Amino acid sequence: MTARPPIRDSIPRLRQRQRRDGSWRIWWEPETRIRPLGFTPVELDEKRLTWSAKRARGLNTDVAEARKRGRRTPVTRATRTVAALIADYRASRQYLDRAAATRRTYDSLMNRIDDRWGPHPVAVLTKVDMDRWYDDLLGANSVRNAEAIIRMASTLFAHAERRGWRPENSNPCARLGLRAPTARDRVLSWAETDHLVATAERMGLHAVSLAIDIAQLQGQRQTDILLLTPDQITPRTVADPVTGQPMTRWVLELRRSKRGTVGAMAVHLDLQPRLGAHLKRLPADAPRLLLDDRTGQPYARLARNGDGWDMTLFNKRFAAVRTAAGAAMPSLGDVQFRDLRRTFGQRARLGGASRDDAGDVLGNSAARDFALGQVYMGAQFWTATRAIDAVQRPVKPEEKKG
C-alpha cells in the first residue's frame, strides 16, 4: 500500500514519489510547453515541507508572470538581491547537507540578514557596508551574536561567488577584524558531577542521571546520546593491541549527527555496570536507550515539521535536576549539559590522553566515511579507548596511621 504523500495540498506541477527506502523525492516539474519560457525542474526538500510547498507556489507564480511577458524574467543584477541569494542558498547542497539543528541556527541568522539587506543587490554591497553594519550589531547585540551574523553573511557571499553573482575573492565580510567572543570554558568538578547524578537519581530520573554519566565519561553530544539505541552498546571480544590476547569490553558504536563521523570506543569501566543493569531493565522493544522514567517516551522525538529532533522533554528534566542540585550546590546554577562533554575532554587530557586520542572520542578527527571508518576502526577504537580509560576519579590520599 502506497503511503500518503507528505505534502497534502494540491499544487500544480508539484511531484512527489516515494523511494524504496521509504523516503520521498519532492520536485517541481514544468510541462513541456512552458520550458521554452526558461523553466527547468527544481528539486525540493522532503524535510522542509512548508518551504517546499511555498517554493512550488512561487515557481507557479513565475510561470504565470512569464506567460504574460512571453518569457521568464531574466536573473540580472537587479534581481540578484540578498533575499534571492538566501533563497538560493537554502536550496543548495551546502545548506541541505547540514544537520537539522545547524540549519535552524542558520535560518535564524539569515532572517536577521534578510531583514537588513533583503532588497539590496548582492553585487553592490561593499566592505564598508559590512563594517558599519558590524558596528551597529555590536551596539545592539552580544559580541557572540554579532560575530555569528557576520559569519553567516560571509557564508552567503561565498555562495554568491560560487553562483557567479559576485567576482572571485570579493567577499565584503572578509578581514573585518571581528572581536573574538569569550569562549565558554565551564568544566565541572567531580563533586559537581557526582551531585548532579545523585540529584537525578533521588528525583527518580534514572535515565537523566545515566545521560549525565554517558556525557561525562564518553564525551558525546546530547543529541547523539539521546539517539542511542540499545543495540549500539554491546559486549565484544577484542584483541588487546599490546599482548594480542582476547579480552571482553563493552563497546559503544555510533554515527555522530553533527558531522556524520563514525565512532567506536570502549565503555568506561565505571559506567559499564550501570549500563548493563539499565539494558536488562529496558523493554525488549525499546526504541531508544534512554526513555523518560515518568512517561516512558524517548527523549529524542522527530520535530513536528519532520526536520530534526525535538528534545524539549529532556531539556525540561535536566533543568529540573539542575535547579534541585543548585539549591544545595550553587555553583551548578548555570551549568549546561554541553559542559559535560568539555569536562570529559579536560579529564582525559589530565589523565594523560593525547589531544588526538581525545579527538577520536569527541569526533573531531575520526573518519567521515563509514567504509574508511571500518578500515581504520581498529586503530581508532584503541586510541579512543585510551582517552576513555584516561578519565580516572582522583584517589584520596591514605590517612597516616598514628
**CB within 8 Å of 145: residues ≥ 6 apart:** 137
Report which of 214, 211, 212 is spatially closest to residue 195, judged by C-alpha positions. Answer: 212
What domains, with CATH codes, occur in the chain?
1-74 (no CATH), 75-178 (1.10.150), 190-390 (1.10.443.10)
| DSSP-assigned letter for residue 13 | T
What is the predicted pLDDT for the residue at 56?
A: 87
pLDDT of residue 73: 61
The pLDDT value given to residue 336: 95
Judged by DSSP in three states, 230 sits in helix
Rounded to two decimals, the pTM is 0.65
Residue 65: the pLDDT is: 80
Q: What is the pLDDT along the chain (402 residues), one digit of tens a residue?
A: 457 889 988 999 999 999 888 888 999 999 999 888 878 888 888 877 887 888 888 888 888 888 887 776 665 555 789 999 999 899 888 898 887 778 889 999 999 999 999 889 998 899 999 999 999 999 999 999 999 999 999 999 999 999 888 888 899 999 999 998 777 889 999 999 999 999 999 999 999 999 999 999 999 999 999 999 999 998 888 877 777 888 888 889 888 877 777 788 889 999 999 999 999 999 989 999 999 999 999 998 887 766 678 899 999 999 999 999 999 999 999 999 999 999 998 999 889 888 877 877 887 654 344 443 444 345 667 788 888 889 999 877 665 544
Q: Let me know the angle formed at the C-alpha of 200 by 217 and 102, rounded to the nearest 5 degrees.
A: 60
Determine the pLDDT at residue 226: 95
Q: How many C-beta atoms lie closer than 10 Å to residue 318's C-beta?
A: 22
Give me 236's grid cell.
Answer: 565484544
Query: How far, in Å, are 21, 43, 87, 152, 297 from residue 161 at the CA level?
Result: 36, 22, 15, 14, 46
Each residue of 139-156: pLDDT tens digit? 999 999 999 999 999 999
Write down the pLDDT at residue 1.
47
| 246-255: strand order across its sheet | 233-239, 246-255, 262-266
Q: Which three cell numbers stand for residue 310?
A: 525535538
What does the DSSP assignment read for 87-120?
HHHHTSHHHHTS-HHHHHHHHHHHHHHHHHHTTS
Contacts of 40 (CB under 8 A, 6+ apart): 30
